[in-house]
């Protein structure tokens, strides 16, 4: 009998994908048919599935992309598939579950794994074995179709299926309420029917000649081929002990697991590098194919702390914008809105790097519907903004003629200029306040003027020519402030 290579497909549930975190795709293992070279770019992927030599990915907009071998059009995503909520990959065929609850299949159809899909719109989960497909209905019953050489599509009766998954010659499931026991059917070779005891299982995965299960306490159980033959790569024997796992996937002769801390683990056959998992702790989803693995790496998270609503900040004062970072975010862009998010402006000067805080010189505005928004420079999807509006209080000083929320010499210069020179059509060629004769009245002249304050016989610094250098002279000097020839 011809031995068929298994595809480990990851079970996908509608309600999981509706809130699944999005990120970039990471792939490792064999590069056959461009599996590594052609990984799609972007940070909006929510799920992945791995076939023998092809891969699928679900995007946040509910569309599906595929890459790798397309010999049987398993990478030719059907036109109009824009409402997918789950995906699965078999040997040389692909599956998607639509938001309507209908199943879509495409690719190789040698055992009716494409044409034999069940009709209806009441499905909530899908999975793929080697040459067979599987699904769970809303009432908890399960269906299977396609290759049935070892009765892997003869699903036991019942309506309490929580998870299903398929290998080449067998199928496996979790049955119960919330969590449950493991059930299997199909071939009884390799010890595949020696299922683990317990009613605390929450997920299952099927390899070519082994099965893997995840308990609610985060521990793993594996069974099947473990006789040190040529096909025994430790896919069962080397299963990690201990807690801390939250997702599993089974490939041909290897496994991938996702840990609670966001890191990956893999064991079993590593001939093509499929057990050499990438480093990092930001992974949120996994899949395993014949000799390659897939994962989604979340690009990080930003959490704005202040301002977060209700603050009352005075314009032209310095206030701290602060935030927390989860995952890899190197540069943060900061913007503010004074119209409840209708439009946004960058802070000035622009923020550099990601220090978790920014000292903001609050702009001179008077607005009640202000927000601050922080965004990763690398990904617009990584963003957060104030939960509610805060106020910026405009400057109440009537004598603040320059609009900087301070009454200082600049304002006095404006006042004096309008007071003493309001009738002038143009500036004179010379100015008596230009003491150093450099063609402008500036800080050097002011220092010279100040050094003669209240002095008599002060010469050119006594601008009104009478008495001491006093307020009358200062008014005249202020009226000439910033004069240029």
Place of tokens 């990080």: 300
More confident residue, 454 or 204: 204
For the stretch 183-212, pLDDT in tens is 999 999 999 999 999 999 999 999 999 999
Q: Write out pLDDT tens, residues 457-473.
A: 778 888 877 888 888 88
Reported as a single tens digit per residue, the pLDDT across 117-176 is 999 999 999 999 999 999 999 999 999 999 999 999 999 999 999 999 999 999 999 999
Q: What is the DSSP letter of 141?
A: -
- The answer to whether the CB of 194 falls within 8 A of the CB of 154 is no
Q: 485 falls in which pLDDT band (50, 70, 90)?
A: low
Task: Evaluate whether 69 touches 75 at the Cβ level (below 8 Å).
Answer: yes
Which residues, in sequence order, are bridge partners of residue 170?
186
Q: Quote the tokens at residue 30.
A: 């064999």
Are the C-beta atoms of 402 and 364 separated by less than 8 Å? no
Query: What are the tokens at 426?
Result: 């143009």
d(CA 65, CA 89): 12
Give me the helix-helix angle, 471-479 and 409-421, nearest 10°.
Answer: 90
CA-closest candidate to residue 97, choices 182, 23, 18: 18
pLDDT for res 98? 98
Q: For residue 8, what pLDDT band results from cuts at 50, 70 and 90?
A: very low
* pLDDT at site 14: 32
Q: So what CATH class is 12-297?
A: mainly beta
Structure tokens that stand for 434 in this block:
């230009």
How far apart CA 220 and CA 229 sit, in angstroms, is 23
pLDDT at 231 over 70: yes
Got the DSSP string for 53-72? SEEEEEETTS-EEEEE--TT
- CA 146 to chain CA mean position, Å: 37
Cα angle: 86, vertex 92, 97; to 5 degrees: 15
Tell me, rounded to whole angstroms, the distance of Cα 331 from its chain centroid: 14
Could you tell me if 327 and 83 are in contact, meaning their C-beta atoms sit under 8 angstroms apart? no
For 237, 319, 348, 377, 385, the CA distances from 333, given in Å and listed in that order, are: 49, 17, 11, 6, 12
Domain with CATH 2.130.10.30 in the chain: 12-297
Q: What is the mean pLDDT of residues 274-286?
A: 94
Would you say residue 219 has pLDDT above 90?
yes
What are the tokens at 128? 């793929």
Specify the CATH number of the domain 301-393. 2.60.40.10
The boundaries of every CATH 2.60.40.10 domain in the chain are 301-393
C-alpha 427: how far from chain center: 59
Across all residues in the chain, what is the average pLDDT?
Answer: 89
At residue 46, φ and ψ (nearest 5 deg) are -115, -15
Least confident among 106-115, 259-268, 445-454: 445-454
The pTM score is 0.70
């Amino acid at each position: 009998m011809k031995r068929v290579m298994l595809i480990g497909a990851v079970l996908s549930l509608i309600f999981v994908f509706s809130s699944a975190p999005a990120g970039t795709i990471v792939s490792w293992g064999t590069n056959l048919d461009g599996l590594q070279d052609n990984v799609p770019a972007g940070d909006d992927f929510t799920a992945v599935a791995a076939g023998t030599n092809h891969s699928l990915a679900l995007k946040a907009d509910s569309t599906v992309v595929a890459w790798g071998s397309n010999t049987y059009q398993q990478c030719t995503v059907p036109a109009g598939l824009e409402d997918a909520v789950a995906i699965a990959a078999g040997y040389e065929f692909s599956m998607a579950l639509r938001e309507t609850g209908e199943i879509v299949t495409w690719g190789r159809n040698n055992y009716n794994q494409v044409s034999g899909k069940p009709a209806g719109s009441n499905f909530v989960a899908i999975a793929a074995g080697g040459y067979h497909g599987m699904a769970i209905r809303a009432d908890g019953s399960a269906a299977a179709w396609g290759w049935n050489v070892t009765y892997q599509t003869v699903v036991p009766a019942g309506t309490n299926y929580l998870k299903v998954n398929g290998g080449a010659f067998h199928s496996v499931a979790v049955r119960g309420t919330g969590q449950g026991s493991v059930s299997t059917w199909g071939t009884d070779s390799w010890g595949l029917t020696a299922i683990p005891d317990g009613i605390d299982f929450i997920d299952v995965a099927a390899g070519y000649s082994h099965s893997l299960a995840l308990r609610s306490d985060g521990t793993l159980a594996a069974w099947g081929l473990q006789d040190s033959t040529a096909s025994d790569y430790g896919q069962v024997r080397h299963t990690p002990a201990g807690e801390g796992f939250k997702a599993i996937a089974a490939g041909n002769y290897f496994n991938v697991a996702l840990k609670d801390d966001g890191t990956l683990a893999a064991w079993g056959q590593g001939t093509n590098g499929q057990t050499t998992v990438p480093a990092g702790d930001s992974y949120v989803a996994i899949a395993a194919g014949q000799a390659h693995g897939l994962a989604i790496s979340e690009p990080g998270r930003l959490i704005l702390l202040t301002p977060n609503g209700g603050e009352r900040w005075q314009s032209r004062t310095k206030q701290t914008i602060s935030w927390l970072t989860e995952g890899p975010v190197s540069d943060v862009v900061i913007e503010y809105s004074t119209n409840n998010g209708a439009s946004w402006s960058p802070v000035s000067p622009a923020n550099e790097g990601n220090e978790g805080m920014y000292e903001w010189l609050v702009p001179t505005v008077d607005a009640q519907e202000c927000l601050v928004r922080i965004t990763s420079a690398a990904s617009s999807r990584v963003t957060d903004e104030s939960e509610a509006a805060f106020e910026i209080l405009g400057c109440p000083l009537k004598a603040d003629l320059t609009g900087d929320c301070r009454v200082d010499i600049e304002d006095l210069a404006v006042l004096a200029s309008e007071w003493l020179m309001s009738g002038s059509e143009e500036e004179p060629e010379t100015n008596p306040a230009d003491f150093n004769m450099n063609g402008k009245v500036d800080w050097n002249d002011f220092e010279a003027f100040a050094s003669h304050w209240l002095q008599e016989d002060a010469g050119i610094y006594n601008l009104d020519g009478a008495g001491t250098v006093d307020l009358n002279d200062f008014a005249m000097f202020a009226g000439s402030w910033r004069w240029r020839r």
